Chain A
């Protein structure tokens, strides 16, 4: 990367952050009931780091568990659909129905079913993570170079050979794109599900802070969740750069 591009890559987001900071400070000064002073946020986190880390751990646990389950189920289903295309017409409408059903509506129903445990949070995170990965995996597995497929078929390659040596590596960019969307969705799902019937997690922290108009606590919880989501995306991007080298 040239020095100019590097400066642009760092300078542009930094400039935008400074601009947002100024806008925040101006809004906080004009309307203290809407935003807390920017300086209050680090002070709030530094005063109770264990409180935020404990709640982050709960949310992250739900999100990562849900991500694993949702992504795993989506990949398994996509592989099944690729090998038995007749399943496609059965699977897609159900997946679409799950996707369009609002998470906020599902969460209370899950609390009724599973009680005040972490299970509803994990289930919601899994449901939200499932669809982006399913769509990307299906697109990736089916987006095979026709010439390559002909070469494989002309040698009577088995379905396993075609999948492992052609479809899977050829779909990695799709799978990583799906993983990025699913990771964000799982974090959102976990946090939103904690709004209902949960006393732990960043979602519950936000709800409690809203109830008591504790603006610093609310915004620290929001920013921590955003930073963690960004970190997850960064990790997935890093793994992609290591794995997809062509």
Chain B
């Protein structure tokens, strides 16, 4: 497998009267098709690191290579799919238009799409996430879980080979969160994108990931890398199964060790 992301010595300090070092000396590679989760306490720089990979934030130190080039080059090709904390649907557009947003912006990238980017049919993807009957609804008419599924449809319609997800399910209640998580697992196992996922939930990290990167508190450094050897497909894997619980314990222990050490 080739590397989708290669970070070398990445650091980021936020300037100010008292500069805040958010990240320091991050070395990380993510292989194509891998599902990697960034896990750590608040202030460990998980979201900052994700934003640096997306090109939404600059690194002060080190090099960032995304899909063989800079994050900006990948963004210009629409090769990065971004899922923010809130669903970030456009309230004035119907669900179909929201899901098809990638086809409406930066159309230059669509003239000769990168071979790795495979845009999907909007209605087909809405059917995949169970929103076919809500294509003409406005986001305000959807529940939180349905909105997040529409956001997943949007990013999978874009067809980007790299998906970056910044705590996408954090605002959902536990039952909805569990359902949407399984939806993501199902989509990922069918479309096999490279995913970098940020979460505060050890259970979520264990259930979804091939590998979990545990970050230490500020400045964020890699405290541990934990492989999650649970066989796939995992869509039917119960969140309270022994394998998930064991991985969850290992992740939590690594978090504690990183925080204390």
Q: Which residues of A contact B (CB under 8 A)?
A: 145-148, 150-158, 161, 165-166, 169-170, 172, 244-246
B61 nearest CB across to chain A (Å): 22
**Number of cross-chain contacts by CB at 8 Å:** 74
Tell me which residues across on chain B come within 8 A of A246, comparing CB atoms.
91-92, 138-140
Give 6 pairs: A residue, B residue, CB < 8 Å, sorted on A: A151-B154, A152-B105, A153-B75, A155-B80, A165-B105, A170-B92
By the criterion of a CB under 8 Å from any partner CB, how many residues of chain B are at the interface?
A: 32
Asked whether, in the complex, the Cβ of B84 is within 8 Å of the Cβ of A146, the reply is yes
Asked whether, in the complex, the Cβ of A165 is within 8 Å of the Cβ of B72, the reply is no
Q: Which residues of B contact A (CB under 8 A)?
A: 51, 54-56, 72, 75-76, 78, 80-82, 84-92, 101-102, 104-106, 109, 138-140, 154, 158, 164
Tell me which residues across on chain A come within 8 A of B154, comparing CB atoms.
151
Asked whether, in the complex, the Cβ of B90 is within 8 Å of the Cβ of A161, the reply is no
Tell me which residues across on chain B come within 8 A of A172, comparing CB atoms.
92
Of A147, A157, A170, which one neighbours B106 at CB under 8 angstroms?
A157
* Given contacts A165-B90, A169-B92, A147 and B84 within 8 Å (CB-CB): yes
A153 CA / B54 CA spacing, docked (Å): 9
Tell me which residues across on chain B come within 8 A of A150, comparing CB atoms.
51, 54, 56, 82, 84, 88
A169 CA / B138 CA spacing, docked (Å): 14
Q: List the B residue with the shortest CB-CB distance to A172.
A: B92
Tell me which residues across on chain B come within 8 A of A157, comparing CB atoms.
105-106
B181 nearest CB across to chain A (Å): 19
Tell me which residues across on chain B come within 8 A of A148, comparing CB atoms.
84, 88-90
A145 CA / B88 CA spacing, docked (Å): 7
Asked whether, in the complex, the Cβ of A151 is within 8 Å of the Cβ of B106, the reply is no
Tell me which residues across on chain B come within 8 A of A244, comparing CB atoms.
92
Of B51, B91, B92, B106, which one neighbours A156 at CB under 8 angstroms?
B106
A156 CA / B86 CA spacing, docked (Å): 20
Tell me which residues across on chain A come within 8 A of B80, comparing CB atoms.
154-155
Tell me which residues across on chain A come within 8 A of B56, comparing CB atoms.
150, 153-154
Asked whether, in the complex, the Cβ of B84 is within 8 Å of the Cβ of A161, the reply is no
A154-B55, A156-B72, A246-B139 are known; give 9 further A-B pairs, CB within 8 A. A148-B88, A150-B84, A152-B105, A153-B55, A156-B106, A158-B106, A161-B105, A169-B90, A246-B138
